[in-house]
Amino acid sequence: MSSGIRFCLVALTLALTSLTVHAFAKKPAELWALFHFDGSAFVAGKPAPLSPFVAVREGFLPVVETKEERIREAKLPDGAGALVGVCYVQSYGGKLKPAGGYHPVPMLEVPILVGGKPAAAAQTDGDGYFVTELPAGSYQVGNQRVEVKVENGKTSFIPLRVGKRMVD
């Protein structure tokens, strides 16, 4: 075999090996899509440091965290999806602060109904977020009974404004 062919084979082997090593070296956090609540909706991307965010991956239960290194994987069962929400009080006005913003509502019980009958319940964490696994279908969430559709293996987001605060 000529030296040119040997060189090409060695280069190809090295390239494939390095690509394989790179694929296995990816951090679990790189496989997850990150979302955060901006005061009115969930948006893609990383929030400010130490602010809560939701890590989402198809087929897995979403995780609410403040550090990427802590993401724990838990597979969703067949026929189930996930629902992620945040309960907040919207805030307007104020002489000392810029207008607008929100305050999370911790430890709030969130009813989840199907056809007006209780199907499940969730409770918000200290940052106002809740995560629950549900069979695929349509649900009414919260006291406002907001309609949300949960799809198999996917995550649905729902912001629930539970109050409004007007500041002078």
DSSP string, 88-149: EEEEEE-SSS-S--EEE-TT-EEEEEETTEEEEEEE--TTSEEEEEEESEEEEETTTTEEEE
Q: What is the pLDDT of residue 120?
A: 93
Name the CATH superfamily, with its identifier, for domain 32-167: Immunoglobulins (2.60.40.10)
Work out the burial of residue 127: count CB atoms within 10 Å of its CB; fewer than 13 is exposed, 13-18 middle, 19 or more buried. middle
Q: What is the pLDDT of residue 10?
A: 61
Q: Span 58-78, mean pLDDT?
A: 85
Is the predicted pLDDT of residue 28 greater than 80, yes or no? no
Confidence class for position 11, pLDDT limits 50, 70, 90: low
Distance (Å, whole) CA 108 – CA 110 = 6
Helix H or strand E encompassing 20: helix 3-25
Distance (Å, whole) CA 103 – CA 37 = 11
Contact 152, 107 (CB under 8 A): no
Is the predicted pLDDT of residue 24 greater than 70, yes or no? no
Distance (Å, whole) CA 136 – CA 65 = 25
Q: Which of 16-25, 46-55, 105-114 comes out lowest in average pLDDT?
A: 16-25
Confidence class for position 85, pLDDT limits 50, 70, 90: very high
Domain limits, the chain: 1-26, 32-167
Contact 6, 13 (CB under 8 A): no
Q: Tokens representing 21?
A: 């090593």
Q: Tokens representing 106?
A: 């911790």
Helix H or strand E encompassing 65: strand 63-65
